[in-house]
Amino acid sequence: MTSLPHAPHRAPTMTKGLAMLFAFCCGAIVANIYYAQPIIGLIAPDIGLSSTLASFIVSLTQIGYALGLFFLVPLGDLLENRKLMIVTTGVAIVSLLGAAFAQQPNVFLIVSLLVGFSSVSVQILVPLAAHLAPEESRGRVVGGIMGGLLLGILLARPLSSLVADHFGWRAVFGSAAALMAIISVVLATTMPKRQPDHSASYGQLIFSLWTLLRTQPVLRQRAFYQACMFATFSLFWTAVPLELAGRYSLSQTQIAIFALVGAIGAIAAPISGRLADAGHSRVASLCALVFAALSFLPGLVHPAFAVVGLAITGVVLDFCVQMNMVIGQRAVYALDAKSRSRLNALYMTSIFIGGAIGSAIASSLYHNGGWLWIVIAGSAFPLVALLAFLKNSRG
């Protein structure tokens, strides 16, 4: 009788199989945020949403994600992680089914908010993985899982376009709901239990976010670097479909293939994790920031090779963004083991803000100044981060 309560605390370790499972689950869950982006032109007229308000589908999904990061992810430091994960995934299933069957624009907008809110469950899995992994391999484990997450982000758009082309846009959300149901069952049977030691109330937990942000300079620095990098990432992937379709007349399927090429950059995750474990975090971050700033230059080559140049930009930029993110996460997780979920919430919220800024300005920059303005803005964000990085002796 006395051995049973101790088994869940003693036994769980981050095995290779569990790390691969976490990576797959993170990629599948985070993809929910991006499915709607390339197909809002199909969704809006079908549910009676005006073209002016169609962008609210994407905006509300992002707002829901931000709310989840701030209000839900910190619960990972308070509640049993597996139960919290399963409940959150259940909300995702209901939300995706709501999107698949919605007939009214208001209903679809509400469920879009909930899809974003529930998708933050990936940010419960990542700190849990960091907790289970031994110190000497934590960077490699987190890097591998973040590689799965980035693949989910990069593959969601082309996958959504292809499914919608062949089976209709509702099949995209219906299939995603089915996948979430499978993941929920798998996690319920394989995910280790973890009851955090934190005993504060939820209100105290939320208030402590400000304390962490104020007292942890490495958190502030790493969050700023990655916010700038993700702003560039979002800027590029929001603007490049406009450039490919408008200037080079690529079809939706061809643009989907282009996005698949960009997914090559996900190989940065395990590489950056190993570099961080070996103590090369600062050199790796420096390289990531420098090459991110230079990555837009290939897109300015002769028009005959410009699509290839843009593909090179996508691969290099994704590589650099992923490398800096994983190294930043490892540094942030090392600050306080008992606060990893809240530290992750602050880190990822900052990244989301950067990404939202990049997405928001992309269309305006492109329509007013063409691809040249995208190149200038895309290079400026990592340059600002680089200057801040060189100024700081820590982080």
Q: How many helices (H) and strands (E) does the chain have?
A: 16, 0
pLDDT band at 273 (very low <50, low <70, confident <90, very high): low
Taking the alpha carbons of 230, 290, 301, 256 in that order, is the dihedral positive or negative?
Answer: negative
pTM, two decimals, is 0.77
Give pLDDT tens digits for 153-200: 878 988 988 888 889 999 999 999 999 999 999 999 988 887 777 667
Return the amino acid letter for 227: A
d(CA 62, CA 207): 23
pLDDT exceeds cutoff 90 at 349: no
State the average pLDDT over residues 297-323. Answer: 86
Is the per-residue pLDDT at 2 higher than 50? no
Is residue 253 pLDDT above 50, yes or no? yes
Domain ranges in the chain are 7-391
Give the pLDDT confidence score for residue 389 in this predicted structure. Answer: 95
Tokens 């474990």 label which residue?
277
**Domain 7-391 bears CATH identifier 1.20.1250.20:** yes
Asked if pLDDT for residue 277 goes beyond 60, the answer is yes
Return the closest-CA partner of residue 344 out of 234, 226, 244: 226
